[in-house]
Structure 1
Amino acid sequence: MNYQIGPWQFIKNRCVVVAGNIERELDPLLVKLLMHFISKPQQIIARQELVEQVWQQSFVDDNAINRAISELRKQLSHPIEKAPLLKTHYRKGYSLTVVATPLAVNEPQHQPNAMTSIDHVREVSLNATNVSDIKSDSEIAHVVLAESSTSSQVIATSYTKSKQFYVVAGVLLLVLITVIVSWLVMNNTKQHPPEQGEIIKTTATIIPSTWNVGAEAVPVLSFDKQYLAYSNTDLTTQQPHAFVKRIADQREIELHYQDFNVSILSWQLKQHSVLLQATKLSEQQCLMVLVDISDFLNPTAGRVIRECDLRYTGYAQLDESGTFLYFSEFKDKQGGAGLLRYNTHTKKETTLVPSSDILYGVLMPRISSSGKYIGYIQSLQGQPFSFFTYNLQTTEIKRFFQGQSKGISFAFDWLPNEDRVFVSEYDRLTTINVVDGSHTVREISPYLSAYYIAAQSANSFYFSPAQTQQLSIFKVTDLFSLQMQGHYLYQSEGNNYNALPLLSGQQASTLFISSRSGNGQIWLEQGDQQVQISNFTALHGTPDFGFVRMASNGKFLLLKINEQLNFFDIEAKKLHSIAELKGLKVASYAWSDNNELIWLIEQQDKRYQLWQFNLLTRELAKRNDIAPYALLNDNQGRSYAVTNDELIRLADDTRWQLPDAARSTSFHAINAEYLYISDGISRVARFNLTSHALEETHVDFKSFAFNVTDNNELLFNRRDVKDTQIKLVSW
């Protein structure tokens, strides 16, 4: 029997729940647990009843029950279903909040033996792709049902003969097809081995491996695969924690360092020591700390290896002897990170790969198991990421892989005891041999999108998902005073709240982008009312939005959707693409002051080119006297350019020299009084356009963009983590 449970169809015999194009597999325990809830719809079921009826034991550890309930709740969560289907009643138990409706299974009532033969034919025909003379399921079923409608007019003897004929014919056909398919498979295997780069369809098993509440990420395995270390970010405080799990008995410990917040970086090569990143954002402190867990239940207090940069977004790892630390770091707060080596004895640094002029540079340096190579991801803003190796013996640098995605990914790891590496992107896993350059590509099913991976073997790896955050708009007042206050304006309960706030002229309203209605749309909030004002269809994709800029007349928005620059007519609610700009790598854009012209920056390798485009004449004009890396509009639509050392008002060429601390930062916002800047981590500063004074402070949350009102209220795109697990993929 199958059941409809809210948005899900529960197909019991396949142990899956299905909704649209989403399919999730349940392990046998979860199937038993769900069936028990279905049998008692909307009733509160005590934990002891679950112990007796589901586990069928007299005692079960509380953690086991908590893990099972948590996993079932996750599997039943749905992107558009806000309320949980599995509810916890404090000190009472749990209940399924909806009534599960039985679904009728369409089983044929006539010719059971013939239909059994049809089932076999269908199973073979799906695999025998070269056999073209087999009818489709619908054709065969139509014939069988048409014949069965006249069965009452056929005498019993002829029915029996017909029945025997179909059975014998079906069996012979099955045998014939099996022989043909076997011959084709053997012949193809013998004469046509898999070619280089051929995609191998791979069905995998995915099993949850961590169970703590919080955002679990950065899985790293010890050299002997005995221990799994990972980070967990608390959902309430947003503070990171570090854990190590002993795989043999699933026992785990939490690592600490004084009163710092700690997260996992790596294992020391061929040692049972974990490198942590210990931070105090409020005091701008960052340390790399090594903890020895050779005595698993009694780890050492930790020793400081070196200080680190709070803007550091990559990785670090110690070699086997503990002499050299390989790490990536932003230098001088400009451009992207380079690859560096730090001598723990002499305290000196050596640059192996120079910093890039473009964010983000070198990320995730990892030492190969042989100690011969450093592998790393290079990600340049607006370009697909690549995988490189640095040969520690010859200093040779090679690129082995270029991704399809233009986002940042850390999803690679060395395989144990081999000069091979896994690189994961979306549902594809590429295995690269760095000695001869050969590679294989697997398309993993069911679909997964990994952000970090840890290779366990040649056919298994741990991963943490790419979607680990939910985005919201967070309003902060009096940021640079002791009376600072903050509260959420629009907060998501779903997985993908892509919010971009800005003010609409002089009105007390806010435009923002949200996927609350299923995919990204533009919303208008005025007072207590929120209205969706766009209706983008699949023609424009499931939008990936860039920054949104408003024209000075308050009628048009300039925005980038899936790398294509567009403008949106707010009154007509229509999106207009700018075909003349298709193919340009647009890094930043803004309206000019007269609403007929737009400014845009094209990224050309490591250079930036400023252009002006006329929406009426469709002419594109180059401006060569400045090379900004960011463009801004204030709330009156005035346009500004930001270079490495200047702020320029484009209408009249008024210029402000920026102090060193305000240069080459990641995010900007501007009003009539201040230029606001942020590094996207914790630091926020503002530059007074009149006095040229610079103030700075730190926030205890992560933001990736923000805007400012005329009365200096800041609307941050805040990033909060969501509950995720690390899972093991094997095939």
Structure 2
Amino acid sequence: MSRFVFGEFLLDSTSFTLYRNNEKVAIEPKLFRLLLHFCQHANQVFSREALMASVWEERIVSFAAINRAVSELRKIIEEDPSTPKLLITVSKVGYKFTACVEQAKLPESKEYLAVNHKYIALIVGVMLIVLSCAYWLTFKADKPISTQFVWQDFPVTTKKGISFKPNGNFVSDDIVFLHKETDDDIAQLWLQPADGEAFPLTEDEYYYTFAMIAADNTVFASRFNNLVQRDCEIVKIDRASKEVSFVSSCSRRAVTNLELDPASNKLYFNQREDVNQPFSIVSLQLDTGRKQQVTMANSKGNLRGDYLLSLSPNASKLAVVEYQSNGDGLVKLIEVNKVAQPNYLTGFKSVSSIAWLDHERLVISEKSGLKVLNVKTSEVSDLSTQPYVSQAKTNKRGVVYVYSNNSQNIYNHSVNDNGEIQAITDTRHRTVLPFYASHNNDLVFLSNDSGEWQFYLKPEYGKPHALLFPETIKHINNISWANDGSFIVASVNGLLYKYHFSQTRWQLIQSDINNVHFVDIKDSETLLVSSDDSGDWQLWLVNMRTGKSELLTKFGGYSAQVSADKRYIYLTKYTKSGLYKLDLTTGSEYLVLPDLDITYWNRWHIKNSNLYFVKDKGIEIRSLENVVKKGKWISLDNIVPSSFSITADESWVSVSRVEDSSAEIRLLNKRQ
């Protein structure tokens, strides 16, 4: 590891820190590695292919992603990024770092001390303050000493690709985590010892979803048999022999989170009886196989229930996150060995993990970063506010979490056989959920380019502009265009919203049903929506003017679309595979496409007289007159899209493609 000085900057590869005039500069890990590479090879010209091999470690990314990284780095180091002088473009070749770079000496050298004398004085002052506080707390204070920490942040894993869901325990520095090379690979278990290189624990055909380290050097994990059936099981892995043994079955299609009480040899995890039921927390006695229900989930408008959990260091309490219909996660405490009502604390937005920091505090990963919640006072404080952090867990050394960095852009794939691809957006952030209009090729999509998710409209002949949504977008399922293009309707945060283009504003559609999942415009006055307001997922007709609803189906409905002639509704179901057709005149319903997977509820579209659906890393087109007959297949260049859209003239299929995806595990190391 080295330190490099150029101009006003000092780059410290030991601490992964960049300074400018002795002030710390915020820089993303990927940009830091790019700058480090240029410092190590100043005045050398590098092609984009060479940068991909060295900085991106031969992971396949687009040239556009590399160009954006260079552009963002210029914003940090150049006085005028529009006319770069340090990081220049060499025409038809690549990039060259022209700065005069010197390798700085070690911290104890006189030169380094001279540059950082202000920091030394500051450190001495801080030490005196800390010693004074320690003296007061030890000898003067009447209450017990509270644990305060200075947090140091640095990377733990160095594997290329995507490392995620780290976990540890309070007696070990080791970390177990999931890893895959690309988004399309299956996740396997890896172990990062405190004093060695990471190594794989599993190399099989299962997709692992969660793992935790037990005190006896075994690892418990949950996994799917594959990503289509998603049959779930809990297994135990011996770290030394890597032998895998079956422990218990778990809920199908469910990511199962685990906690272990080694003293009682009891395993806690989230479970549901059926895919249309909410999660509860259960315990499994490993000696006898006895299973007991620990929590009772609130099922009203809530299909996730109690989905996250963490066991306190003394195993007396479970911290549980209960999913709310508005997308928030409500934290509650459960006394494990007592019969008592849950102690509800506070809610957080888009919670991805929860873990005990000590006996009194929880660390929670939510939308705005990492939060610390004091369970006695309910006070909430920030641990990290940097973007793209999630999945925080704790071990002996501190807090391990995931820093992710990916960019997605929308591309059009030609329906013709020429294989043509058009780039529709160009951003280093994420653009997703493309929805084309019915009357022309105007496009609405979502992007977090501004830091928050926002709707954008790209006219067929124009540049994108924001359709400013009045609330924070927590989750969105789909958008539907009016046939004449005058308005769109979206299902956002479980509610219905209408955007009328002539009025240029969003309007909440007041309805007497809650927790809306999917929406399609049936006609100028009526919406077709899915909701579990009746207790399970059904289709409803909602009048946009009055908000009154009418139950349409009795046998289930999760996503749906009205045929062009308004005579039929095509629909999927929450608990069954296949695409169904409902005759609105007779009320008859029958299965038309049995092999549409249950997880593909948003991966099909009706356009005019054709059915489009995702199949085998592409899109298949079939005529609605004969759906069982195989039709044309369009390759999507080896990706399986989570959603797609079709242009009005059916000449292009639009998908969101991941161009640059990486995730690394970092550690917030606590020092008293």
2:301 equivalent to 1:374: no
**CA offset at residue 374 of structure 1?**
3.2
Residue of structure 2 in register with 1:452 after alignment: 391
1:632 aligns with 2:560: yes
The alpha-carbon distance between structure 1 residues 606 and 383, as it changes in their structure 2 partners (threshold 3 A), is: farther
Name which of structure 1's ranges 623-632 and 704-713 shifts more when overlaid on structure 2: 704-713
Which residue in the other structure is 2:345 paired with? 401
Cα deviation, residue 350, structure 1: 3.7
Give the structure 2 partner of residue 13 of structure 1: 21
- Distance of 2:384 and 2:311 partners within structure 1: 29
CA distance in 2, matches of 1:685, 1:44: 41
Instruction: Say which of 212, 218, 224 aligns to 1:273.
Output: 218
Shift of 1:513: 1.0
| CA–CA distance in structure 1, aligned partners of residues 321 and 616 of structure 2 | 21
SS of 1:311 mapped into structure 2: coil
**Maintained 8 Å contact 1:523/1:531:** no
Q: Match for 1:612: what amino acid?
A: V
> Post-superposition shift, 1:662?
8.9
Q: Displacement of 1:211 after TM fit?
A: 1.4
Question: Aligned letter for 1:575?
Answer: T
Cα 1:496–1:555, aligned 2, differ >3 Å: closer, same or farther? same
Give the TM-score taking structure 1 as reference length.
0.61
What are the equivalent positions in structure 2 for 1:12-51 lying under 5 Å apart? 12-14=20-22, 16-17=24-25, 23-24=26-27, 33=36, 36=39, 40-41=42-43, 43=45
Letter in 1 for 2:447: S
Q: How many residues align?
A: 577
2:401 pairs with 455, 463, 475, which one? 463
Residues of 2 paired with 1:349 and 1:712: CA distance? 55
Alpha-carbon deviations, 1:523-581, whole Å to 9, x = none? 5587xxx85454335877789754110123344322256777443456x5x63322563
| Residue in 2 that maps onto 1:386 | 330
1:489–1:521 CA distance, 2 compared to 1 (3 A): farther
Structure 1 residue 413, shift from structure 2 partner? 0.8
Q: 1:448 deviation in Å? A: 4.7
Match of 1:139 in 2: none
- Cα distance change, pair 98–504 in 1 and its aligned pair in 2 (3 A): farther
Does the C-alpha gap of structure 1 residues 234 and 79 become closer, same or farther in structure 2, counting only changes over 3 Å? Answer: same
How many Å apart are 1:398 and its aligned residue?
Answer: 1.5
Match of 1:548 among 459, 462, 479: 479
- Given that 1:431 and 1:440 are in contact with CA atoms closer than 8 Å, whether structure 2 keeps it comes out as yes
Q: Indicate the residue corresponding to 1:306 in structure 2.
A: 248
Task: Name 2:667's counterpart in structure 1.
Answer: 728
Alignment of 1:205-220 (within 5 A): 205-220=152-167
- Partner Cα separation in structure 2 for residue 589 and residue 14 of structure 1: 52
CA distance in 1, matches of 2:575, 2:252: 22
**Matches of 2:322 and 2:154, distance apart in 1:** 30
Query: Counterparts in 2 of 1:609-648, with a 5 A limit?
Result: 612-614=542-544, 618-623=545-550, 630=558, 632-634=560-562, 636=564, 638=566, 640=569
Percent same amino acid among aligned pairs?
11
Of 264, 272, 275, which residue of structure 2 is paired with 1:333? 275
Segments of 5+ residues of structure 1 without an aligned counterpart are: 18-22, 46-64, 89-93, 103-118, 124-181, 478-485
Distance 1:375 1:400, change over 3 A: same
Query: How many Å apart are 1:320 and its aligned residue?
Result: 1.9
- Measured after TM superposition, the shift of residue 218 of structure 1 is 0.9
Letter in 2 for 1:40: A
Q: Deviations over 1:28-73 (max 9, x none)?
A: x989947946x9345469xxxxxxxxxxxxxxxxxxx979999xx9
Q: Is this contact kept in 1: 2:184–2:639, CA < 8 A? A: no
Judging by fraction of residues, say which structure has more helix: 1
Question: Secondary structure at 1:363's aligned position in 2?
Answer: strand
Q: Is the 8 A contact 1:244 1:255 kept in 2?
A: yes
Amino acid at match of 2:21: N
- What displacement does 1:276 show? 2.9
What is the alpha-carbon distance in structure 2 between the residues aligned to residue 719 and residue 81 of structure 1? 15
Shift of the alpha carbon at 1:219?
1.2
The answer as to 2:386 corresponding to 1:421 is no
Which amino acid in structure 2 is aligned with residue 729 of structure 1? L
The CA RMSD measured in Å over matched residues stands at 6.0
Over 3 Å counting, the alpha-carbon distance change for 1:80 and 1:581 in structure 2 is: farther
Task: Check whether the contact 2:327–2:474 (CA below 8 A) recurs between aligned residues.
Answer: no
Which amino acid in structure 2 is aligned with residue 722 of structure 1?
S
Alignment of 1:573-722 (within 5 A): 575-579=504-508, 581=510, 587-588=516-517, 590-599=519-528, 612-614=542-544, 618-623=545-550, 630=558, 632-634=560-562, 636=564, 638=566, 640=569, 652=585, 654-656=587-589, 667-668=601-602, 669=604, 671=606, 704-705=642-643, 722=661
Matches within 5 A, 1:353-368: 353-354=295-296, 356=299, 358-368=302-312
Q: Distance in 2 between matches of 1:663 and 1:212?
A: 33
Moved more, 358-367 or 553-562: 553-562
What is the Cα deviation at residue 255 of structure 1? 0.9
Larger Rg: 1
Deviation of 1:438 (Å): 3.0
- 1:307-326 counterparts in 2 under 5 A? 307-309=249-251, 311-320=253-262, 324-326=266-268
